[in-house]
Structure 1
Amino acid sequence: MLKKLIVAAAMLLTSVSTLVSAADEVNVYSYRQPFLVEPMFNKFTEQTGIKVNVVFAKKGMAERLAREGQYSPADILLTTDISRLIELQDKKLLQAVNSQVIDGAIPAHLRDDNNQWFSLTTRVRNIYSAKRMGDVALNYEDLALPKYKGRICTRSGKHPYNVALVASMVAHHGEAKTQEWLEGVKENLARKPQGNDRGQVQAIHQNLCDLAIGNSYYFGKMINDEKQKVWADAVNINFPNQANRGAHINVSGMAMAKYAPNQTAALALMEFLVSEQAQQMYAEVNMEYPVRAGVKRSALVDSWGEFTADDLSLATIAKHRKTALMLLDKVQFDL
C-alpha cells in the first residue's frame, strides 16, 4: 500500500511539474510603477500569448523573496536603481542569465559581469540650477565649494540615488577625498536633507536654495505636470562633469529570480524588454534614456541636448556602496 502511495505521489508531482513548465505565464515582482510597465507587458502578451502576472511594491522585495525561498513564484524582478539590484545579488536571490539577445542589446558596463542583473534604462543624476544664476557649468565636486554655502538642497544622502552617486565619487577619488567632499556639501546645505527630487526643484522655485541634485526624468515629469511646471520653469538642467569624466548615471534594471519556476517564459520577457519596441516605450512614457543603441529618445528628453556620460562600470560603483553608506553616516549627512 505504501509503495502504491509513493508511486501515486510521484506521478502527481510529475503532472504538476509538467503543468508549471508548460504554463504560458510569467510572474514579475516590480518596483516600477504600473503605468510604465503594464503597456509593455500587454504588448508582450499580445505577441507571445504569455500572460504576465505582476506584484507591485515600493519596498521589501528582497525580504519577501528570502521569506518565500525555493517556493517563491517570482520569475523576473524589476527595480528602480542599481542599489536594489545589488541588494538582491548580495542576498543571493538571483541567478545568471545567458542570452546573446540581451548581451547584444546592453553595453557591458551596464550589466553584471556574471550576468545576474541587467540595466533597462538610464537616467542622469543632474544638478539643477536656478535660472537667476544664468548659465553655469558644474561638476559634482563643485557642490563642496565655499561659494555655495547655504545654497544647496537635496533629499536624504542615504536614498539609493544619492548612495550610488557617492559610491561613484569613492570610485573616482577614494575614501578620504570623498569624505572631505561630503563634509563640504553638508556645510553648503540650505536645509536638512528632506523630501524627494521634485521637492528640491520646488525649493529652488521658492528661493530656498540655488542648486539641487535630482534625476533627469523628474524634470520631464514636472514640465508635463500642470501644477509643477512652474517649478521646472525656474531651473536649468545641467549635465555635470562635461569637461572631464562625464555625468553619473543610474539605471532601472531586471534580473531573474533564483528559483524562477517559469524560466523559458521569463527569458522571453527579458529579451522583449531590451527589444527596440519596448525600449522605445520606456523612452516615451518615463522620459528615460534607452540602453539599446539606436533607439530614439523622447522629443522632450532630446531637447535637453547631448551629454557625455560617465562610463564607469556599474559593477565597480556597486563595490563601493557600503563605503558610501559608511561615509554618509560618518559625516552625519542627514542630521
Structure 2
Amino acid sequence: MFARMTTALTALAVAAPASADEVNLYSYRQPELIAPLTDAFTEETGIEVNVSFLDKGMVERLKAEGARSPADLIFTVDISRLASAVEAGVTQPVESDALRENVPAQYHDPDGHWWGLTTRARIVYASKDRVDPSEITTYEDLADPKWEGRICTRSGTHVYTLALVAAMIHHHGEEEAKAWLEGVKSNLARKPQGNDRAQVKAIWAGECDISLGNTYYMGKMLEDEEQQEWANAVDIVFPTFENGGTHVNISGVAMTASAPNKENAMKMMEFLVSPEAQEIYAAANYEYPIAPGTEAIDLVQSWGDYTADDVNLMTLASYRADALRLVEEVDFDG
C-alpha cells in the first residue's frame, strides 16, 4: 500500500492493520532527505519505514482517510504546518522521557502533539560588494529608509514570511508590526517573488543588496554548481529582534490520531531525537540539530553563531491569522 521512498499513494487505504515490523510516514520533506534517517532507524530496530512523499494536501488527506489512514507519523517543516495539523484534529499527543530530554521546550507543542527535529534561522543574505554586515543588526532595522530600493524577498503570504511577521507581532504588537511591514515594503527593490535562492540570485545580479532567507539555502546553493556563484556573492548575517534573539523555524514530527502502528511510531520518534539521528538529519539539509550536546556540521558552523529567540513556536502559530491579515492590509505583494 505504501511506496518505499517514492511518491504519494494514489488511493485511500481501505484498512490500516498494525504490523509488528513497520511504521508508515507521510512526509513533506523530499525522499532523499528522509532516506539516511529511515535507513539508520531500520538498521537499529529492524522496523521497516514506508514513506509516502506529499507535496501538498497532507492535512486534507488525513481528514479524508480518518480512522482508516495507514499513516503513523507526519514529517513537515514550518510551525504553521504543524499547528494546522493539530488544529485539524489529525494528530495525537505523545509523551516520553526521551522526547522531553532531547527537545527544548520552545521546540515542541506544550501539549505534546508535535516535536521539533531540526532548526533553521531566518537570516539576511547581504552583498559582499555593497553591504557592510555590521550595518544589519536587527529585523526592525530592515524598515529603515537607508535600505530603500535595496531589499528582495519572497511573497508576504509564504509561510516563512508569515512566521517572521508573527514573531514581530509577538515582540511588538500588531500596530508596530504593521508599520514595520509598510517600512519593509517601501524598501523593496522589486515586487516579492520567487523562493529564497531567487533572492540571492537577484543580489548576485545587482537587482538588490540584501534579502531574507533560511540558512540552509546557503548549503543547497553551494552544492549546486550553477548556484555556487550566487552563494559566494553574499554574506550570512544573523539579525535579532530588538528585545529578543534570532528568528528560527523548525522541521518536526507528529503522530497521527489513528496511528495503526503506535508502538513502532513512538520508537521512531524517540530515535529521531537521539543525538545520532539529529546529526544525520541536520547534515542532510544543512540545518541545526536541537538535542543537547549535538552540533551542526562544519560548513553550517562556519556561518557564525547566533542566539535563537526563545519564544515557543506554538505561540507564534497563534498569530498566523493576524500576520496574514496585516500582510494583506499593507498589500505587501502589490
TM range (shorter): over 0.9
Name the SS of the counterpart of 1:20 in structure 2: coil
State the match for 1:158 in structure 2. Answer: 157
Letter in 2 for 1:127: V
Instruction: State the Cα deviation string for residues 146-196 of structure 1 (Å, max 9, x = none).
Output: 111111100111111111111000000001110111011111111111110
For residue 255 of structure 1, give the secondary structure of its aligned residue in structure 2: strand
Paired residue secondary structure (1:254): strand
Length-normalised TM-score, structure 1: 0.92
Partner of 2:301: 302
What are the Cα deviations for residues 120-169 of structure 1, in whole angstroms up to 9, with x where unaligned?
Answer: 00000001111121232321111111111111100111111111111000
1:109 & 1:329 partners in 2: Cα distance? 28
- Structure 1: which amino acid aligns with 2:312? S
Q: CA RMSD of the aligned region, Å?
A: 1.4
The answer to whether the 8 A contact 1:242-1:307 is kept is no
- Amino acid of the structure 2 residue aligned with 1:70: A
Could you tell me which residue of structure 1 aligns to residue 273 of structure 2? 274
Aligned match of 2:218? 219
Q: Measured at CA, do residues 242 and 307 of structure 1 come closer, stay the same or move farther in structure 2, by a change above 3 Å?
A: farther
Task: Give the superposition deviation at 1:244.
Answer: 4.8
2:69 maps to which of 68, 72, 83: 72
* Greater fraction of residues in helix: 1
Aligned match of 1:88 in 85, 90, 94? Answer: 85
Kept in 2, the 8 Å contact 1:153–1:193? The answer is: yes
Say yes or no: does 1:61 pair with 2:42: no
What does 1:1-335 correspond to in 2, within 5 Å? 20-132=17-129, 133-136=131-134, 137-241=136-240, 244-335=243-334
Shift of 1:243: 7.1
Give the conservation status (yes or no) of the 8 Å contact 2:139–2:241: no
CA 1:22–1:204 in structure 2 vs 1: closer, same or farther (change >3 Å)?
closer
Deviation at 1:305, TM superposition (A): 1.9
Larger of the two Rg values belongs to structure: 1
CA offsets 1:194-223 (integer angstroms, 9 cap, x no match): 110000000000000011000000011112
Measure how far apart 1:224 and its partner are. Answer: 2.2
Higher mean alpha-carbon deviation, 282-291 vs 206-215, is at 282-291
Distance 2:118 2:295 in 1: 12
Q: Is the 8 A contact 2:171 2:243 kept in 1?
A: no
Contact preservation (8 Å) 1:138, 1:241: yes
- CA deviation after TM superposition for structure 1 residue 20, in Å: 3.2
1: CA distance, partners of 2:51 / 2:183: 43
Question: Take 2:202 and 2:289, find their aligned partners in 1: how far apart are those partners?
Answer: 30
Distance 2:307 2:198 in 1: 26
Residues 271-312 of structure 1: per-residue CA shift (max 9 Å, x gap): 111111111101222110001011121010111121111111
Identity %: 53
Q: Which runs of 4+ in 1 moved over 6 A?
A: none
2: CA distance, partners of 1:95 / 1:186: 40
With the length of structure 2 as denominator, give the TM-score of the two structures: 0.93
Find the residue that maps to 2:35 and give its secondary structure. helix
For 2:19 and 2:208, how far apart are their aligned partners in 1?
58
Partner secondary structure for residue 307 of structure 1: coil
Tell me how far apart the structure 2 counterparts of residues 286 and 232 of structure 1 sit (CA, whole Å). Answer: 16
- Tell me the CA shift for residue 22 of structure 1: 4.4
Kept in 2, the 8 Å contact 1:242–1:308? The answer is no
For structure 1, the residue ranges without an aligned partner over 5 or more in a row are 1-16
Distance of 2:317 and 2:112 partners within structure 1: 15
The size of the alignment, in residue pairs, is 318
d(CA) in 2 for partners of 1:21, 1:34: 23
> Secondary structure of the equivalent of 2:113?
coil
Q: Which amino acid aligns with 1:164?
A: A
Q: Distance in 2 between matches of 1:105 and 1:261?
A: 25
Distance 1:320 1:257 in 2: 24
